[in-house]
Amino acid sequence: MSTYLPLLKRLIPPALWRPASQVRYALDRIAQWPAATFHPWRRKSLSLLGRYHNLHRGQRCFIIGNGPSLRQTDLSKLKREFTFGLNRIYLAFDQMGFLPTYYVSVNDLVIEQCLREILALPMPKFLSWRSRRFFTYPPDETTIFLHTTHTGPKFAADARERLWEGATVTYVALQLAYYMGFQRVILVGVDHSFSTQGKPNTTVVSQGEDRDHFHASYFGKGFRWQLPDLETSERAYRMAKEAFERAGREVLDATIGGKLQVFPKVDYEKLFDQKPAGSK
């Protein structure tokens, strides 16, 4: 059937094709719901997630992206801050000099190829519910499954519900930060710029050193990864901005040289002039 999809898209007017696609996506999400609600592993995750609701009310945190700008960012300043590390952030641990408070990964290719390294991380780890298929034994209490989906745009105020991925793990981390009650969320290393070009979400195999992340081996030679969908990510970021502002909270962007224009920009160094009450 998939072989005929491009032909069908050309023959069927967009006004008819788009609603049909939305119905199909909705049916897919409905089909995922029972296991994401009643499976024992997921029930355990729901219980664990409950412990984090408003745990950090009024505090600030940093979401550490994986862009090349991390090489120009003094991450040691974050040692006493609440932090979210994403995907292969562990390649920067020597540079950082500390471990992030939380870890998040929802990309199937990253989890499949890096599961051993991910499971060795000691901090709470938030992974996509889809990734359970890569597990050969039940996860321990540091592994929490999130019901994330590629379709159905939304901002989830409650992380126990379905979370839209918004084509970037950073958006999932923003939803988690909101659920945990953080008053101010600051992005670093979210460069929002890629030298690798191609159709968004296409799976490719890296042919050499990675120029689009902070480490040459991040998606190094032979690593399978998906090309970025910056347009969808921006849509997600705008939804996050609106959700935080409605709640009287804020998201700031302290990425050095970052291209993202959704959130207010702040000078990274000036964030540490005075230690805020919401830090560790």
Residues 188-203 pLDDT 10s: 999 999 988 899 989 9
Instruction: Tell me the per-residue pLDDT of 210-224, one tens digit each, with 9 for 90 and over.
Output: 999 999 999 999 999
- Pull the structure tokens for residue 11: 């023959």
pLDDT above 70 as % of the chain: 88
Which strand (E) or helix (H) includes residue 43? helix 40-50
**CA-closest candidate to residue 183, choices 54, 58, 56, 62:** 58
What is d(CA 106, CA 109) in angstroms, rounded to the nearest whole number? 9
pLDDT surpassing 90 at residue 36: no
CATH number at residue 32: 3.90.1480
**pLDDT at residue 169 in the model:** 98
Residue 5: inside a domain:
no
Q: How far apart are the first and last CA of the chain?
A: 54
pLDDT value of position 2: 47
Alpha helices in 121-275 (DSSP H): 169-180, 230-246
Tell me, yes or no, whether 95 lies in a domain.
Answer: yes
Q: How many CB atoms lie within 10 A of CB 139?
A: 17
- For the segment 222-246, the average pLDDT, to the nearest whole number, is 97
Pick the closest to residue 168 from 115, 220, 230 (CA basis): 230
Band (pLDDT 50/70/90 cuts) for residue 13 is low
- pLDDT over 80 at 278, yes or no: no
Highest averaged pLDDT of the listed ranges 37-41, 135-139, 173-177: 173-177
Residue 92 CB neighbour total at 10 angstroms? 22
- The domain tally of the chain equals 1
Q: Is 7 inside a domain boundary? A: no
CA distance 37 to 35: 5
Whether residue 84 is predicted with pLDDT greater than 80 in this model: the reply is yes
pLDDT at 38: 72
Beta carbons of 84 and 177 less than 8 angstroms apart = yes
Judge whether 34 lies within some domain.
Answer: yes
- DSSP β-bridge partners for residue 226: 203
- The arithmetic mean of pLDDT across residues 87-112, rounded, is 96
User: Which residues, including other chains, have CB under 8 Å from residue 79's CB and lie 6 or more apart?
Assistant: 96, 97, 98
Is the residue at 207 inside a domain?
yes
Residue 228, domain extent: 12-272
Q: Is residue 3 part of a domain?
A: no
> Among residues of the chain, what percentage have pLDDT more than 90?
81
pLDDT at 150: 93
pLDDT at 1 over 50: no
Spell out the residues 6+ positions from residue 167 whose beta carbon is closer than 8 angstroms to its own.
Answer: 150, 200, 201, 228, 229, 230, 232, 233, 236
Is residue 64's pLDDT more than 80? yes
Question: Does any domain span residue 277?
Answer: no
> Which residues are 164's β-sheet partners?
149
Q: With a cut of 80, say whether residue 90 has pLDDT above it.
A: yes
Instruction: Kindly state the DSSP code that residue 264 receives in the 8-state scheme.
Output: P
Q: Is 280 contained in some domain?
A: no
| Band of pLDDT at residue 160, cut at 50, 70 and 90 | very high
